[in-house]
Amino acid sequence: MKTPRLGERLVALIGVALVLFSPPLILVADRPATNGLSWLPLYLFIAWALVITLAAWLLEHRHEPGGRSDDATQQHQSDAPPAEPPRGSQ
């Protein structure tokens, strides 16, 4: 079951991505280091990886109202005896 707040969390993720890729932060990362190389490629890669990781976590991590995750529900269901096959289907 997906949480009703998933949409709000995804909108917050979009806000984080917009801040990370805003021109002021990119210009700070674009300043050359002492050896003349720019930190921009490393900053862009780390920011991109962070946004992708957060999106994957939000979309794959499911919440239930009782505080149980899908793993706990599946474990609970696996403890139940297996259902019998329907009769007369031969």
pLDDT digits (tens, 9 = 90+) for 9-35: 999 999 999 999 999 989 988 888 788
User: 22 phi and psi, to 5 degrees?
Assistant: -75, 150
Q: Which residues neighbour 2 within 8 Å (Cβ) at sequence distance 6 or greater?
A: 62, 63
Burial state string for 59-78 with b = 16 or more CB within 10 A and e = fewer than 16 = eeeeeeeeeeeeeeeeeeee
Q: What is the rounded average pLDDT of the residues 42-48?
A: 95
Q: By the 8 A CB rule, do 67 and 59 touch?
A: no
Q: What is the pTM of this model?
A: 0.61
More confident residue, 76 or 52: 52
Length of the chain in terms of residues written: 90
Average pLDDT over residues 66-82: 56
